[in-house]
Structures are given as C-alpha cells and as structure tokens.
C-alpha cells in the first residue's frame, strides 16, 4: 500500500508490532489465546471452551492480567497522542486484505 512503517518499536509503550510514525499510529497483532479473546468476548464460559482442566483459575488470572496490561498500554499510548489499532491474529489469518483495510482506515483518519 506504500506506507512507511517500523516493526516492533522498543521505544514505545507495549512495543507495538507495527508503527507508522508519520501518522502517529501503532498496530498490535494480538494472539487470540494470550491476549484473552475468549475471556473478553465470552467471559468465564468463553474461556472454559478454550481452557479445560484443573488449572482454569490459574489461566483465568493470567489472561485477565494480560487483558488489563493491554488496556493500560492503549490508554498510555492515547495519552501520548498515538492512534492504536488492535487486530486479532485469527482475523488476519482469515482475511489479510480486510485487516489491511482496517489499518489503512486508521491511517487516513486524522
């Protein structure tokens, strides 16, 4: 698409996967499991469909901390006047073109 970007910028909070400095926009590609998609979208029941066994509570606590950290990272980047795009890895794998359009829309938004 012709946009200039940097990968995994260590200087920014959360170490975004893709950074578009000219547009002050960052992109995070979130792994469905590690970033708690089932927990975010389905609560305990949703998480139980993914995590089975005796360690459910341990995983729930771990993933909830990851979700909280993601929220804090987004807030801090917004305070620093960065636009933040978060995309689930499964969305990218299913339809890369649609994911790219989502990022492009964010870049065009002023």
The CATH number for 36's domain is 3.40.960.10
- List the domain range (segments joined by +) for residue 33: 6-108
Domain annotation covers residue 45:
yes
What total of structural domains would you count in the chain?
1
Phi, psi of 61, deg, nearest 5:
-65, -45
pTM score: 0.87
Closest CA to 76 of 23, 16, 6: 16
73-91: average pLDDT:
96
Domain annotation covers residue 1:
no
pLDDT digits (tens, 9 = 90+) for 43-61: 888 898 888 888 899 999 9
Check whether 86 has a pLDDT greater than 70.
yes
Residues 6+ apart with CB under 8 A from 6: 18, 19, 21
Tokens read off for 104: 């492009």
Domain annotation covers residue 34:
yes
Domain annotation covers residue 51:
yes
């Amino acid at each position: 698409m012709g946009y200039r970007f940097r990968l995994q910028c260590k200087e920014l909070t959360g170490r975004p996967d893709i950074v578009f400095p000219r547009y002050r926009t960052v992109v995070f590609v979130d792994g469905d499991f590690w970033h708690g998609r089932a927990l975010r979208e389905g609560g305990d029941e949703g998480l139980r469909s993914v995590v089975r066994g005796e360690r459910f509570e341990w995983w729930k606590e771990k993933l909830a901390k990851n979700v909280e950290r993601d929220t804090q990272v987004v807030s801090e980047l917004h305070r620093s006047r960065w636009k933040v795009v978060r995309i689930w890895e499964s969305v990218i794998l299913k339809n890369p073109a649609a994911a790219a359009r989502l990022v492009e829309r964010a870049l065009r938004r002023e």
